[in-house]
Amino acid sequence: MAFLGLAYDLILAIISCFFIFMKWNEIRYRKKGLPPGTMGWPLVGETSDFLKYGSEFMKTQRSKHGEVFKTHILGSPTIISMDPELNRYILYNESKGLVPGYPKAMVDILGTNISTVHGATHKHIRGSILSLLGPVAVKEKLFPNLLKCVKSFTADWDGKTIDIQEKAQEMAFFLAFKQIFESESRSIYDSFKPEFEKIVSGTLALPINIPGTSYHIGLQARSKVIKLSREIIKQRRSSSTIHRDMLGQMMSDETKYPLNDEEIISQIITILNSGYETVSKITMMSLKYLHGDLKALQELREEHFGILGRKEAGESITWEDYKSMSFTLGVILESLRLATVVNGVMRRTTSDLELNGYKFPKGWRIYIYTREVNYDPLLHPEPLKFNPWRWLDKKLESHKYNFLFGAGGRLCPGKELGLVMISLFLHCFVTQYRWEELEGEEMVKFPRIEVPNGLHLRISKY
């Protein structure tokens, strides 16, 4: 009898443990006044639903709970906001305890960088970035070099079949790399590039550090990139050559924004990382949309042949020519919008806050989810239609709920640089080539746009 009782107790204990385990997240994060929503499984929360069902998960949760709801994703309790007014408030009011808060995997792999610091440190690092690649630097320094790089990159594609997803990533990386290390050799480029791919795929993984996980591989790649950068800095210190590239500027005694070696390496990683995904995906998607819209493609070609028509033979296009490419800008912004290359930005609370009548506990993440705004029919009539012309009305770009490049004190400092890179690419590409898309490539849209087998284009001379 005693034995049976013990077995019974044991079973009861196991059942209640299991029950508590299943409900652990709900119990742990229970608190009055939180936004509605569910917290999912212990540790992983709702991460797998979030990554697997992506924007559908977001829409379902919104229809159940409203524009502001709680969940547990990517290792942290998170409040998701799709309320444009609240999002605007958060982006513009960083000093009220709403600092950037990226998932642990990203912070570990990308390190302390401009997006992880705030206050005076942020001001200093951002000043440095802006002096290296902000609009003035692009206009006065980088433009001719970028043009040269894009030209050489797209020079010999006639008759080839290329994977534009891969090529666009290569280009984004190559362009950034060449601005940082103008004179370093091809072999250094070749050793940086694969490490960077590992870094990028590690940042969106769960932070589980065992051999074989993307996170683990990302961390290793980070160490390698740091080591390579240190060697380059050391070599440069021991030589008397003056370098006029970004690394040279950061190492110069005359810089307005002095950085130590750690900070210089962070800036290198930041610059290589931040344009990579956005610039390459916009490039790929713009070609995809143009391929399906001959009218837009024709108008784009007219804009670029118009510019070339005003040039002497061999004369290069200038910054002013770039500034006149208004339809091109429309194509870029429309591709960014329609494909939703940026789903949102992340913040973290540094104290208990009350927003929209809900408690936002200290230390929670806030996901400012801006994807839905991209398909808002009031802001973008016929939202699912590729319509670059809508951006010719400049009011749309400066609309108060347009967060395509962020907003407030963290507005993307690389916006102009990114726009120049893509514009120059489109210029070189549509004036030299026509292309056919090979059929049957499946596209993943969330959490990032991806064509698992590549997007193959057959290219021929225009």
Ligand X SMILES: *[C@@H]1O[C@H](CO)[C@@H](O)[C@H](O)[C@H]1NC(C)=O
Q: CA-to-CA distance for 158 and 432, rounded, in angstroms?
A: 9
Peptide bond into 36 cis (omega under 30): no
What residues numbered 342-361 form the site for ligand X, per CB under 6 A? none
For residue 188, state whether it binds ligand X (rule: CB under 6 A).
no
Taking CB under 6 A as the rule, does residue 81 contact ligand X? no
113 binds ligand X (CB under 6 A): yes
Beta bridge partners of 369: 344
Taking CB within 5 to 8 Å according to partner kind, which of ligand HEM, ligand X, none is near residue 273? Answer: ligand X
For every residue of 302-333, DSSP letters joined together read HHHHHHHHTSPTTPPP-HHHHHT-HHHHHHHH
Measured CA to CA in angstroms, residue 26 lies from 14, 79, 239, 444 at distances of 19, 14, 60, 31
Q: Report, in Å, the least distance between residue 411 CB and ligand X.
A: 12
Question: Is 428 annotated as a binding-site member?
Answer: no
Element (DSSP H or E) covering residue 180: helix 164-180
Q: Considering beta carbons, is residue 25 or 283 the nearer one to ligand HEM? A: 283
Q: Does 410 bind ligand HEM (CB under 6 A)?
A: yes
Q: Which option in ligand HEM, ligand X, none does residue 107 bind, with CB closer than 5 to 8 A by kind?
A: ligand X
**Nearest distance from residue 282's CB to ligand HEM, in Å?**
6
d(CA 283, CA 412): 18
Binding partner at 68 among ligand HEM, ligand X, none, C-beta below 5 to 8 Å by kind:
none
Nearer to ligand HEM, 115 or 154 (CB): 115
Measured between alpha carbons, how far is 442 from 233 in angstroms, rounded to an integer? Answer: 43
Element (H, E) at 80: strand 76-81
Which 339-378 positions form the footprint of ligand HEM (CB under 6 A)?
A: 341-342, 345
**Does 412 interact with ligand HEM (rule: CB under 6 A)?**
yes
Of these partners, ligand HEM, ligand X, none, which one is at the site of residue 92 (CB under 5 to 8 Å by kind)? ligand X
Gap between the Cα atoms of 363 and 349, Å rounded: 5
To the nearest 10°, report the CA torsion of 272, 274, 278, 280: 0
Short-list 315, 312, 218, CA closest to 269: 218
Per CB under 6 A, residues contacting ligand X are: 88-89, 92-93, 102, 106-107, 110, 113-116, 270, 273-274
Per CB under 6 A, residues contacting ligand HEM are: 100, 114-115, 126, 129, 133, 176, 270-271, 274-275, 278-279, 282, 336, 341-342, 345, 404-406, 410, 412-414, 417-418
